[in-house]
A and B are shown apart, each in its own frame.
Chain A
Amino acid sequence: MWTGVQWTGTISGGATRRWFTWGWPASWHVVWYLMPTTPQVGAPQLDWDVAVERASNAQCTYWITVTNLKSTAITFEGRFAVLSS
């Protein structure tokens, strides 16, 4: 297994935005998660959902929808882990 940061994003307070990342081998087992880099204590900051598109026989595109649960902008890392390849 290995992990990485695919992108660093910023999302406005209360907003929902979607990012995509393409060209991933469809045979890999990949999970996606977020980590805020803007500390704000006391409550959750971010929620996310993952959807996937089979772009070709060999490759896929991941679509990550991020919701900012707070009223101010948050910067975060879009992280992945390849569980098997």
Chain B
Amino acid sequence: MPAPVTLNRARQLFRLVNARICCPASAPAPCIPFHYPDDGCWGRAHEMCRLMIADGADPEKIWIFGSLTVSSRNKPDCNVNWGWHVAPTLQVQTGSAVTTHVVDPALFEEPVTEAAWKGVQGDPGAVLIPSAASVFYRNQSGSISQTDPTYAETNTVLNTYRNALRLRVASNGPPPYFACMTKPPGTQWLGTISGGATGRWFTWGWPAARHVVWTVMPLTPCPGGPQLSWNVQIERASAGQCTYWITVKNLTADAVRFEGRYDVLG
């Protein structure tokens, strides 16, 4: 069994691989298409293991076989069905205990226990099978097991699903998909703005006596530079009410979904 790492180290490794997330519209290599949850997990898992090993870590993998169903806001119909799935694991020391944590940015925002990972996949009877990181692909019985020491197959799989992600964005717009989301508190609207565009939204009927600030937050991850800036203007519509006009500028070439947020001060 590999030497355990601290939870902080596991989180660091999670951030290391998650930083490779694809900007969905362009999805340039060598990014990892975490936002195409439909398929390609074995390529993502092998690439994540490669990155962690290069950083001095000693990951393994966990495979799950069953009738799996996962909710995802990164697929237009909000549901993913799998017969199997795979992700890297790390042994994590917490106090005197060592537990297996799964690194799966397609499903979670930090390392989680195997039980939590299995728990979101909709099949309590699903079977978990651990393996070495070197196993690139396997079936449940183990009668088929393939390695990919040169990462050639890995790159082929990643390319396939980068392309699938680009195609999805071209036909459905970028993830996440609003039909799969509920508007969080303090969010006035969910918007989409095209690459390079400037758009203006207004929201009326606000009590003029309230002190309100407006911000925007991209929902479509694309690491590497600023995506959105914004400007706020105000109209006094009546003695008691006002209208806010929020101009949003997309600084990138790709469409971005975003939240228009407000906070009432005082």
Chain B residues positioned under 8 Å from A49 (CB to CB): 229
Stretch from A7-15, A36-44, A50-58, A68-76 forming part of the interface with B: A50-58
A29 at the interface (CB under 8 A from B): yes
In contact, B223 and A55 (Cβ under 8 angstroms) = yes
- Chain A residue numbers with a CB within 8 Å of B21 are 56
- A31 and B213: CB pair below 8 A? yes
B227–A54 touching, CB < 8 Å: yes
Least Cβ–Cβ distance between B118 and chain A, in angstroms: 20
- What per-residue 1/0 map shows which CB atoms of A60-85 lie under 8 Å from chain B? 11010000000000000000000110
Q: Which of A1, A31, A61, A83 has the most chain B CB within a 10 Å cutoff?
A: A83
Q: Across the interface, which residues of B come within 8 angstroms of A30, CB to CB?
A: 215
Interface residues on B, range: 20 to 34
> B residues within 8 Å of A by Cβ?
15, 18-19, 21, 105, 109-110, 184-186, 213, 215-230, 251, 256, 261, 263, 265
Q: Is A46 an interface residue (CB 8 A)?
A: no
With the chains together, A52 CA to B185 CA distance in Å?
20
Distance in angstroms from B192 CB to nearest chain A CB is: 14
For chain A, the bracket of interface size reads 20 to 34
With both beta carbons as reference points, the residue of chain B lying nearest to A23 in the complex is identified as B15
Contact A31 B225 (CB under 8 A): no
Closest chain B CB from A69 CB (angstroms): 18
Task: For B229, give the chain A residue with the smallest CB separation.
Answer: A51
B16 to chain A, nearest CB (A): 11
From A27, A60, A61, A83, give the contact of B184 (CB < 8 A).
Answer: A27
Q: Measured between alpha carbons, how far is A30 from B263 in the docked complex, in Å?
A: 10
A53–B213 CB distance below 8 A: no
- Report if A26 contacts B (CB, 8 A): yes
